[in-house]
Amino acid sequence: MADAAVLPATPAARRAPGRFWIVPPAALLALLFFYPLALIVQQAFLDDSGMANVAEFVRVLHARFFLNALINTITISVAATAGCLIVGLVLGLILAFVPFPGSGVIARLIDTFIALPTFLVTLAFTFIYGSAGMLNAGLMEVFSLQAPPVDFLYSTWGVVLAEVTVYSPFVLRPLLAAFSLVDRGQIEAASVLGARPFRIVRQVILPAAVPALIAGGSLCLLLTVNEFGIVLFIGAKGVITLPLLIYSKAIQESAYQVACIIAVINIALSLGLFGLYRFAAGRLGV
Amino acid sequence: MSVPAFTGSNVMDVDAAKIRGAGSNVHFDKVSVAYGAHVVLHPLTLDIAPGEILAMIGPSGSGKTTALRAVAGFVRPASGRIRIGATDVTDLPPYERGLGMVVQNYALFPHMRVEDNVAFGLRAQGADKALIGERVKDSLATVGMSGFSKRYPRELSGGQQQRVAIARALAVRPRVLLLDEPLSALDAQIRRNMVEEIAKLHRDLPGLTILYVTHDQTEALTLADKIAIMRDGRVSSHGPTTELYRRPPNRFTAEFLGRANLLPVTVAEGAAGPKGLAKAKLGDAVLAGAGRSEKPGDRTLLCIRPQHLSLTGDEEHTNRIVGTLKEVHWQGELTHLVLDVDGTPVRVSATRLPVSLPERGSAMPLFFTPGDTSLVPEDVRG
Ligand SMILES: Nc1ncnc2c1ncn2[C@@H]1O[C@H](COP(=O)(O)OP(=O)(O)O)[C@@H](O)[C@H]1O
Ligand SMILES: [Mg+2]
C-alpha cells in the first residue's frame, strides 16, 4: 500500500511493498466481525440437532410475535425519522438563515447531544413526563386528580419522542453543513425576483439540502431500527421491537435459533439502510 | 403592501413596449448606512433618471455595493428614504420592489435548467404559463442564449452563465436593473464583448433604468450616461460621463476616470483669454485651459490626458511645456513616454513617434490644445 512509502525504507519494506499490512486489519475484522456474523447466519439455519433447517426460518417469518415486532420497529423508526427530519429542518433553517446572536453556541450545544448515552434522555423523560414525573405531579396537584393524566410516555409515542430528541442532531449536523454551502447570492437573487421566504426554502435551499436530508434521514432510520436502550428503558407494554425481541428470545427464552433468525433479518435491514446512507453521504461528499 | 407594477396580475399587462416607453427613476434621499458605529455610506442624495445607466464607480470598500444593496432591500438605511418611481420602497422587502439584480458570481440556481432559472421570477410572481414560455424565449434571445435553455448552469462557461443571469433578471421586466460588478469574474476578452452587449441591450430596452456598480473605468465610460464616483462612502463627483471625463471637478475624479496628468499651476492675471479660456502659469510657461471660477493667483491643477499630448506643435496645439524624457515603453499600438516636468511626472500616449526620439535625460517639448485641458481644484480632504 502506498502508505508504506512514508515509512523509512527498511529492507523488508523494499522487498514486499507493504502488501503484508492488509493482514492485521483483515484478521481483526474476521475475528471480531465476520466470524460472529457468520455464526449468527449459520445458527439461523441450523436446528437444535445441528441439521440444516429452513422451515424454522419460514415459520418465524410468519409468526405473530415477529410480525408485530417488525411492524413496531418500522413504525417507530419511520415516525422517529420523520420527526427528526422535521425538527432538524426547522432548527437548521433557523440556525443557518435567521441571524440571531448566539446561534453558533446553540448549534454546538445541540451537537454535544450526540455524545450523550441515549437512555439518559429517557431517564430525564421519566422524571418529566413519567407517571410520578414533574408534569403529572403538577397537574394532579393543580386539578386535584386521582390518576396521572399524561401517560403517553409508556407507549409507542413515548419511544418515538425520546428517539426524536436523541437523534435529531444526526439530521441537523449534515443539514447545517449543506446550508453553509448554499450561496447567499442565490437566496438574494430569488428574493429580488419576487420569491417569498417559503418559496425560497422550497425551491432554492431544500434542493441543495436533499443529499444531507437523505444522509441524515437514513442514518436516523438505521439508528432507530437498531435502538435498544430507549425501548428497553421506557418498557412500554406491548412495544416490542426487533432488537428487544432478539434479546428476549436469546436471554429470557434461550431460543437461540429464533433469536438468530430475527438477527439475520435485522442485520439485512441495517445493511440496506447503511447502503442508502453511504450513497447519500457520498453524494454529499462527507 | 404592494407595488403597483409588480403584482402578479400586472406582470402580465406590462409588455415590452410599455417598458420601453417608461422606466422608473431611482431616488436616494439622504440615505446613510452604518454597520454598528462604522458609517459606510454617508447621507447620499442621488437621482437616476428613467432609462438612464448610472455607473457607480470607485475603489474597493467605497460603499458602492452597499448603496446598490440598499436599493435592492438587503441593507437597511440608518436614515433617509429610497424611492423607485412614485413608490417609497425603504420599508418594502426585496420581493416587493420589482427589481432585477445581477451579481459578480452569477448566483444561478444550480439544480435548475437555464429555462427554469429564467422562469423563476415569473413563477414566483404567479404569471401564467403562456406568458412565462414567451418571456423565457424572449429573454434568452435577448442575451443570445436561445440554444441553451435545457442546459444546467454547470454546463455553461462563465460568460454564458452571466448572460443567463441577465436573462433571468430581464424576464420579470424589472423597473430597475441592478448590476454589481457583473463582468468582474470574466476574463478580459469576454468582458469587452459583454460590455458591448450590455450597451446593445440598453439600446433595445431604452426605458430600462440601470444602476451599474463597477471599479472598472472602461466599463463605466463605455456604458454609462452618468457616472457617480464614490470615495469613502461619499459621492466624490456625479455628472454626465463625457462631462466628468473632460472637465473633472476634482483630482480624485480626474485620476480615477482615465489617466490624467495633473500639473500644479498658478492662475495668471488677465483672467479669461480668448474663447473663455483661463491662463495659468507653470514656471515660465503660460498655458491656456478651460477654467471654472478661478481667480488670479489661485493655485490649482491643470489636467491633461496622456493621449492629448503631442510631440509636435501646430496652430492648434498652442500650449507648450518642456520636460525631461525619463522612460519609453513601446506597447505595439501605443508608445508610452514618461517625462519630468518641473518635478511632476507627465505621461504621454503616442500613436506615432517622430523618426528619431531624443536621448533619455534630454529635454523635449510637448504640445497640447487648450480645449483638451481643464483646471481642476486640488482635493480638500476631510
Ligand atoms: N455586512 C457588513 N458588515 C460590516 N461591514 C461591512 C459589511 N458589508 C460591507 N461592509 C463595509 O462597508 C464598506 C463598504 O463596502 P462595500 O459597499 O462592499 O464597498 P464596495 O462595493 O465599494 O467595494 C467596507 O468598508 C466594508 O468593509
Ligand atoms: Mg462591491
Pocket of ligand 1 (CB under 6 A): B 35, 40, 58, 60-66
- Strands B299-304, B261-267: pairing is antiparallel
Long-range contacts from B287-293, C-beta under 8 angstroms, 24+ separation: B287/B319, B287/B321, B287/B370, B287/B373, B288/B318, B288/B319, B288/B370, B288/B373, B289/B319, B289/B370, B289/B373, B289/B374, B289/B375, B290/B247, B290/B370, B290/B371, B290/B373, B290/B374, B290/B375, B291/B267, B291/B374, B291/B375, B292/B375, B292/B377
Pairwise CA distance, residues B40 & B62, whole Å: 8
Q: Within 13 Å, how many C-alpha atoms sit on residue A101's CB side?
A: 0
Residue nearest to atom 3 of ligand 1 (CA): B35
3-state SS assignment for residue B292? coil
Classify residue A97: in a domain, yes or no. yes
Residues of A in contact with B95 (CB under 8 A): 191-196
Residue of A nearest to B166 (CA): A189
Which H or E element spans position B280? Answer: strand B277-282
Instruction: State the nearest Cα–Cα gap between A250 and chain B, in angstroms.
Output: 50
Pairwise CA distance, residues A265 & B256, whole Å: 74
Domain count, chain A: 1
Pairwise CA distance, residues B55 & B227, whole Å: 5
B107 touches chain A (CB under 8 A): yes
Q: What is the CATH number of the domain that holds A105?
A: 1.10.3720.10
Report residue A30: phi and psi, to 5°: -60, -45
- Is residue A6 packed enough to be buried (19+ CB in 10 Å), middle (13-18) or exposed (0-12)? exposed
* Whether the Cβ atoms of residue B317 and residue B369 lie closer than 8 Å to each other: yes
Contact A196 B72 (CB under 8 A): no
Which is nearest to A190 in space by CA: A201, A180, A174, A179?
Answer: A201
**C-alpha cell of B121?**
421570477
Classify residue A2: in a domain, yes or no. no
Distance B65 CA to ligand 1 centre (A): 7
Q: Which domain holds residue A146?
A: 49-284
Q: Which ligand is nearest to the CA of B182?
A: 2
Residues of A in contact with B124 (CB under 8 A): 190, 193-196, 199
Instruction: State the nearest Cα–Cα gap between A83 and chain B, in angstroms.
Output: 27
User: What pLDDT shows up at residue B8?
Assistant: 37
* Whether the Cβ atoms of residue B149 and residue B113 lie closer than 8 Å to each other: yes
Residues of A in contact with B93 (CB under 8 A): 191
Classify residue A6: in a domain, yes or no. no
Distance B60 CA to ligand 2 centre (A): 6
Pairwise CA distance, residues B247 & B236, whole Å: 14
Measured from the Cβ of residue B250, the count of other Cβ atoms closer than 10 Å reads: 18
Pairwise CA distance, residues A200 & A148, whole Å: 45
Classify residue A23: in a domain, yes or no. no
Tens-digit pLDDT string for chain A (286 aa): 444 444 455 555 455 567 888 888 889 888 888 888 888 888 888 877 777 888 888 888 898 999 999 999 999 999 999 999 999 999 999 999 987 888 888 888 887 877 788 778 888 888 888 888 888 888 888 988 888 888 788 888 889 999 999 999 999 989 999 999 999 999 999 999 999 999 999 999 999 999 889 889 988 999 999 999 889 888 877 889 999 999 998 888 888 888 999 999 999 989 988 888 888 778 765 5
Pairwise CA distance, residues B66 & B35, whole Å: 11
User: What pLDDT shows up at residue B271?
Assistant: 54
Classify residue A15: in a domain, yes or no. no
Pairwise CA distance, residues A14 & A20, whole Å: 12
**C-alpha cell of A36?**
460472529
Distance B39 CA to ligand 2 centre (A): 16
Classify residue A187: in a domain, yes or no. yes
Classify residue A70: in a domain, yes or no. yes
Pairwise CA distance, residues A66 & A83, whole Å: 25
* Whether the Cβ atoms of residue B375 and residue B267 lie closer than 8 Å to each other: yes
Contact A203 B100 (CB under 8 A): no
Instruction: State the nearest Cα–Cα gap between A84 and chain B, in angstroms.
Output: 25
Classify residue A32: in a domain, yes or no. no
Residues of B in contact with A196 (CB under 8 A): 95, 124
* Whether the Cβ atoms of residue B109 and residue B120 lie closer than 8 Å to each other: yes
Identify the sign of the CA torsion B3, B7, B10, B11. Answer: positive
Distance A196 CA to ligand 2 centre (A): 25
Pairwise CA distance, residues B83 & B26, whole Å: 6
Give the nearest partner residue to B94 out of A185, A191, A207, using CB atoms: A191
Rounded to whole angstroms, what are the CA distances from B252 to B235, B322, B379? 11, 26, 7
3-state SS assignment for residue B230? strand
How many CB pairs (< 8 A) connect A and B?
A: 71
Residue to probe by mutation, ligand 1, list B42, B44, B65, B229, most atoms within 8 Å of CB: B65
Which is nearest to B253 in space by CA: B290, B226, B222?
Answer: B226
Task: Find how far residue A187's CA is from the centre of its chain.
Answer: 32
Pairwise CA distance, residues A40 & A95, whole Å: 45
Which H or E element spans position A225? Answer: helix A206-225
Residue of B nearest to A186 (CA): B107
Distance B39 CA to ligand 1 centre (A): 10
Q: What is the DSSP string of A65-108?
A: HHHHHHHHHHHHHHHHHHHHHHHHHHHHHHHHHS--TTHHHHHH
Residue nearest to atom 9 of ligand 1 (CA): B66
B68 touches chain A (CB under 8 A): no
Under DSSP, the state recorded for A46 is B
pLDDT in tens, A215-236: 899 889 999 999 998 898 888 7
| Residues ≥6 apart with Cβ < 8 Å to A6 | none
For residue A272, list its beta bridge partners. Answer: none
3-state SS assignment for residue B307? helix
3-state SS assignment for residue B189? helix
Mean pLDDT by 10 residues, chain B (382 residues): 38 40 84 94 96 95 96 95 94 94 94 96 94 94 93 94 95 94 90 90 91 94 96 95 93 91 84 65 78 79 91 82 90 89 91 80 89 84 52
Which is nearest to B204 in space by CA: B12, B14, B20?
Answer: B20
Distance B51 CA to ligand 1 centre (A): 28
B99 touches chain A (CB under 8 A): yes
Rounded to whole angstroms, what are the CA distances from B247 to A132, B241, B265? 87, 10, 16
B100 touches chain A (CB under 8 A): yes
Q: What is the DSSP string of B4-60?
A: GGGSHHHHHH--HHHHHH----EEEEEEEEEETTEEEEEEEEEEE-TT-EEEEE-ST
Pairwise CA distance, residues B92 & B86, whole Å: 13
For residue B345, list its beta bridge partners. Answer: B340
Q: Supply the ipTM of this predicted assembly.
A: 0.83
